[in-house]
């Protein structure tokens, strides 16, 4: 039996949709950028090289949770995985930001539309006969997004530390600032803004309350996060670009493509 807009009773219109605008543009851009990012980050995560150029650590490799990392003085490394881990240490830590973004309410919209065509655009029919949304495994797991948020806060804290130690020069003396410091700083600000503008964060700080009047402080936080939250999409993209650029910058400096320009 025909389903969807062809279901019995509905207006029998032959065209699957009648949109005349460029509705395919947004999903196409999403797919292009996300695919590009996946290719880039896969290459960098497996590379296991050129991720440290004193005093800069690539955000893809911080913190290092295995023992096979380059020596990175003062970085927030914790070799929890010991020395049996032979692969790139980035693979361990990247699971957390990956999970955070994969279960993010905004990225979900982006990839459901872009990769799954579910739907590609509003009033453009889905190319499938059945749909259960986020009611079944595995998509029901999206409900665990908040746990990734908790990890993401820790990771953002560590990346903040990486910025702090980027104010030392290559001999470990404080009072340095190079272009790399600025790049890492910009990245960490965007990461924080993205992380704090999270819908789960908005819920946790105050959204879950029934009575704001009984919790004036949480109400304030909720208002702050709500304001950031309206920019969540923009922050999601901006921080995706910034994290890749920060890594690329460290790669360039570490592999000797150019020297880090120093301000002082």
Partner 1 sequence: MSYKANFRVWRGDVDSGELRDYTVEVNEGEVVLDIIHRLQATQAPDLAVRWNCKAGKCGSCSAEINGRPRLLCMTRMSTFSQEETITVTPMRTFPVIRDLVTDVSFNYAKARKVPSFTPPEGLKAGEYRMQQVDVERSQEFRKCIECYLCQNTCHVIRDFEDNKEAFSGPRYLMRIAELDMHPLDVADRQKAAQDEHGLGYCNITKCCTEVCPEHIKITDNALIPMKERVADRKYDPIVWLGDKIRRRK
Where do contacts with ligand FES occur on this chain (CB under 6 A)?
A: 100, 104-106, 145, 149, 198-200, 232
**Minimum distance between the CB of residue 151 and partner 1, rounded to whole angstroms?**
14
Q: Could you give the string, one character per residue 5-24, with x where binding to partner 1 holds by CB under 8 A and - elsewhere?
A: x-x-xxxxx---xxxxx---
Residue 189 near residue 157, CB atoms below 8 Å: no
Find which of ligand FES, partner 1, none residue 198 binds, CB within 5 to 8 Å per kind.
Answer: ligand FES
Could you say which of 29, 73, 74, 109 contacts partner 1 (CB under 8 A)?
109
Q: Counting contacts by CB under 8 A, is residue 237 touching partner 1? A: no
List all residues 6 or more positions away from 241 whose beta carbon is below 8 Å from its beta carbon: none
CA distances from 215 to 7, 168, 208, 211, 222 (A): 50, 42, 11, 7, 10
Q: Counting contacts by CB under 8 A, is residue 151 touching partner 1? A: no
**Which backbone phi and psi does 7 adopt, to 5 degrees?**
-60, 150
What is the C-alpha separation between 161 and 51, in angstroms, rounded?
16
Residue 58 near residue 52, CB atoms below 8 Å: yes
What is the C-alpha separation between 166 and 182, in angstroms, rounded?
9
Cβ closest to partner 1, residue 21 vs residue 83: 21
Count the residues in the chain. 264
**Minimum distance between the CB of residue 149 and ligand FES, rounded to whole angstroms?**
6
How many Å from the N-terminal Cα to the C-terminal Cα in the chain? 72
**Number of neighbouring beta carbons within 10 Å of residue 148:** 22
Cβ closest to ligand FES, residue 76 vs residue 104: 104
Find which of partner 1, ligand FES, none residue 71 binds, CB within 5 to 8 Å per kind.
Answer: none
**Minimum distance between the CB of residue 11 and partner 1, rounded to whole angstroms?**
4
**Minimum distance between the CB of residue 2 and partner 1, rounded to whole angstroms?**
9
Q: Give the interface with partner 1 as residue ranges (CB under 8 A).
A: 3-5, 7, 9-13, 17-21, 105, 108-109, 112-113, 118-119, 122-126, 129-135, 139-140, 143-146, 199-200, 202-203, 207-214, 219, 229-230
């Amino acid at each position: 039996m025909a389903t969807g807009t062809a279901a019995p009773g509905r207006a029998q219109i032959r065209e699957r949709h009648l949109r005349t605008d460029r509705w395919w543009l947004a999903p196409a851009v999403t797919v292009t950028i996300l695919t590009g990012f996946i290719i880039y980050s896969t290459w960098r995560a497996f590379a296991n090289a050129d991720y440290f150029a004193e005093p800069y650590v690539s955000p893809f490799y911080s913190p290092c949770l295995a023992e096979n990392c380059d020596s990175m003085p003062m970085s927030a490394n914790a070799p929890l995985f010991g020395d049996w881990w032979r692969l790139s240490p980035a693979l361990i830590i990247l699971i957390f930001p990956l999970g955070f973004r994969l279960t993010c309410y905004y990225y979900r919209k982006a990839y459901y539309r872009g990769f799954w065509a579910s739907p590609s655009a509003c009033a453009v029919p889905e190319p499938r006969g059945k749909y259960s949304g986020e009611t079944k495994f595995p998509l029901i797991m999206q409900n665990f997004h908040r746990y990734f948020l908790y990890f993401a806060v820790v990771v953002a804290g560590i990346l903040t530390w990486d910025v702090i130690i980027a104010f030392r020069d290559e001999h470990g003396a404080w009072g340095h600032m190079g272009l790399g410091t600025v790049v890492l700083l910009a990245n960490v600000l965007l990461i924080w803004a993205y992380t704090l503008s999270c819908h789960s964060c908005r819920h946790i700080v105050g959204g879950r309350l029934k009575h704001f009047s009984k919790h004036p402080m949480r109400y304030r936080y909720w208002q702050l996060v709500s304001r950031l939250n309206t920019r969540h999409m923009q922050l999601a993209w901006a921080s995706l670009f910034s994290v890749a650029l920060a890594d690329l910058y460290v790669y360039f400096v570490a592999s000797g493509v150019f020297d880090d320009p120093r301000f002082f």
